[in-house]
Amino acid sequence: MRTNNDGSRNDGCVLVNILGGKKMNTKIVLIFVIGGLLLLSGCTSKPTYSGDASEVGENNSNESAASTTSAKKYDVVSLDIFTASMKNWDADPAADGIEVTIEPQNVDGTLERAPGTLTARAYHAEFDSSFDRVKTTLIKEWVNIPVSEDGYGFLGSEIRLEFDDSFVIPKDPLYLEIDFIYDGQTYSAIEETIYDFS
């Protein structure tokens, strides 16, 4: 144990200000932490729920297309999944669905806030002979989920794929496929391992 010049103890657990080498007040640290959390909370959009979409077989493609058109032209060349995991959105302990943040991207990998529609499919998965996870049985499908321009945050558009009451969450992680349709083109992405963190 060392002592400071004023005789006080120094256990090595002192926060150091990188600019001046002085002790930082705990209140200042808390302000930075809270500010960071507030900043991150604005990085994703207000979530879009899959319940806003049509069921498989419903014929409302004109309505979906009208709600996701835009006068601006976006340079989408690929789709990325920023995050995806099973989440709980109510008071009970079970997962209520899959929360996924999508990023349509341009050739530079920059987010393009393009409107469109999204389809998602969750599968059982297993390892093949090369130890890669591959999809097997389709478990659940969500179709015609509208993605609007104003539904994007800094990191992408957050979509909540809701489970129905009869859905049984498998013990193994899910395999997720996403198709995003913009301007008549389909952009796809997969997440091979969706865990239940609810």
Q: How far is CA 1 from the centre of its chain?
A: 46
* CATH architecture, range 48-194: Sandwich (2.60)
Contact (Cβ atoms closer than 8 angstroms) between residue 68 and residue 48: no
> What are 91-117's pLDDT values in tens digits?
888 899 999 999 999 999 999 999 999
> What are 79-93's pLDDT values in tens digits?
999 999 999 988 888
Reported pTM: 0.69
Contact (Cβ atoms closer than 8 angstroms) between residue 115 and residue 147: yes
Residue 162 pLDDT greater than 90, yes or no = yes
Of 143, 184, 146, 142, nearest in space to 64 by CA: 146
Contact (Cβ atoms closer than 8 angstroms) between residue 152 and residue 91: no
> What are 33-87's pLDDT values in tens digits?
555 544 444 455 678 888 766 544 344 444 444 445 567 899 999 999 999 999 9
Give 37 or 144, the one with higher predicted confidence: 144
Contact (Cβ atoms closer than 8 angstroms) between residue 184 and residue 77: no
Residues of the chain within CATH 2.60.40 domain(s) are: 48-194
Half-sphere exposure of residue 88, counting CA atoms within 13 Å on the CB side?
Answer: 10
The confidence score (pLDDT) of residue 119 equals 98
DSSP-derived secondary structure for 113-168? ---EEEEEEEEEEEE-TTS-EEEEEEEEEEEEEEE-GGGB-SSBEEEEEEPPTT--
d(CA 124, CA 63): 32
